[in-house]
Structure 1
Amino acid sequence: MRSLANFILFQLGWCVAVLYPGTLAALVLLGIVAVHLLLISAFPLRELRFIIMVTVLGSVLDVVHRTSGVLDFPGYVGAYSEGMIPLWLVMLWAVFATAVNHCLYWMRNYRVILFGLPPFAGAFAYYTAEQFGAIEIGHGLLGILAIAIGWGLVYPLMVRISIWLESIEEAPLAEQRW
């Protein structure tokens, strides 16, 4: 049930972020993370540490994409907009982090899927977000390839971070996982 609830919240968060990118989306995504930590997570403090790590890692990846011209954000202006990513995207990384240890937990047991699926799924998610007008992908197919390579590198690293946190903190019951 936790994985299903997490999946629903993650999909809801992604849709809100892509359809209404901005401050409202960032607040809704923050609320989704809070609901997840309060109602779904069996180990909220450990998961909060993981969410922070993944959010930083994913945000750094998107800042690299932004500064290299792969990503742009229509209508994103302000003092910190140059070279940075919008807050709604940072919060979307936080919501995605919740999925790694819940609805996507199964992937860690299948190496082919762990390394093969994220490049396609990540690139497809960004491409879809572009179709809704939330982002713009620069450099055509090379931009999509850069996103795929980034996801191919960071997703397995996220799983390694998750495994590391599990090993240094209290061991979860098999039925609780995260």
Structure 2
Amino acid sequence: MLERLANAALFQLGWFACVLGGNSLWLLLALAVLVIHLSWISSWAQEGRLVLSVVLLGTAIDGTLRWSGVFRFEDLAPLIPLWLMLLWALLATTLRHCLHWSASPWWLASLLGAVGGSLSYYAGGQLAGVHFPYGQVPTLLGIGLLWALLFPLLHVMARRLSGTANG
């Protein structure tokens, strides 16, 4: 129980460091959160493949959304910002820990993904200055649908990449 609370608190700290700090030295705090998780709560051997897989998938998804004009960031880099990639890594650390409860039944992950995904993108957009050119409500509804599909998939990845039957 304590491990899950620590994981949730670390994730929130990292989330705020990424969203409020952007591509600044605050990323070092978010990186420290990731290192603390992999040192004290889990390990690179246990979750390294999951973290890398989620970062790659998330970068592809958010990169596609950026390329299609759903998001507009202040920077003109071709990929999504580094702080957003780090957020995907931090999210991966929650799948086998504080958010493990949402893995089953699958519809619970879909519900959490739809609501939590939309709220996270909304809050992150407000705090990080991310613009939604297609309008806030249509964008957040689309993100909710996307995350209703994506979050159960992330749990499947966590289960398969952990090498255990129950994640």
Q: Which has the larger radius of gyration?
A: 1
Give distance in 1, aligned partners of 2:146 and 2:58: 9
Give distance in 1, aligned partners of 2:132 and 2:30: 23
Runs of at least 5 residues in structure 1 that lack an aligned partner in the other structure? none
Q: Hey, what does 1:55 align to over in structure 2?
A: 55
Give distance in 1, aligned partners of 2:117 and 2:26: 20
Give distance in 1, aligned partners of 2:130 and 2:11: 19
Give distance in 2, aligned partners of 1:142 and 1:62: 16
Q: Hey, what does 1:147 align to over in structure 2?
A: 143
RMSD, aligned α-carbons: 1.9
Equivalent residues of 2:17, 2:27 under 8 A apart: no
Equivalent residues of 2:102, 2:112 under 8 A apart: no
TM-score, normalised via structure 1 length: 0.84
Give distance in 2, aligned partners of 1:62 and 1:26: 19
Q: Hey, what does 1:44 align to over in structure 2?
A: 44
* Matched residues, number: 165
Deviation track 1:117-163 (CA, whole Å, cap 9, x = no partner) reads: 20111111111112224322221122212222221222111111111
Instruction: Kindly state the Cα deviation for residue 9 of structure 1 after the two structures are TM-superposed.
Output: 0.5
**Structure 2 residue identity aligned to 1:2:** E
Query: What is the percentage of aligned positions where both structures have the same residue?
Result: 34
Give distance in 1, aligned partners of 2:18 and 2:129: 8
Task: Give the 4+ runs in structure 1 shifted more than 4 A.
Answer: none
Aligned partner (choices 86, 98, 110) of residue 115 of structure 1: 110
Runs of at least 5 residues in structure 2 that lack an aligned partner in the other structure? none
1:138 equivalent in alignment to 2:139:
no
Q: Hey, what does 1:127 align to over in structure 2?
A: 122
Deviation track 1:43-63 (CA, whole Å, cap 9, x = no partner) reads: 531201101001111111100
Structure 1 residues 132 and 111 mapped into 2: Cα distance closer, same or farther (>3 Å)?
A: same
TM-score, normalised via structure 2 length: 0.90
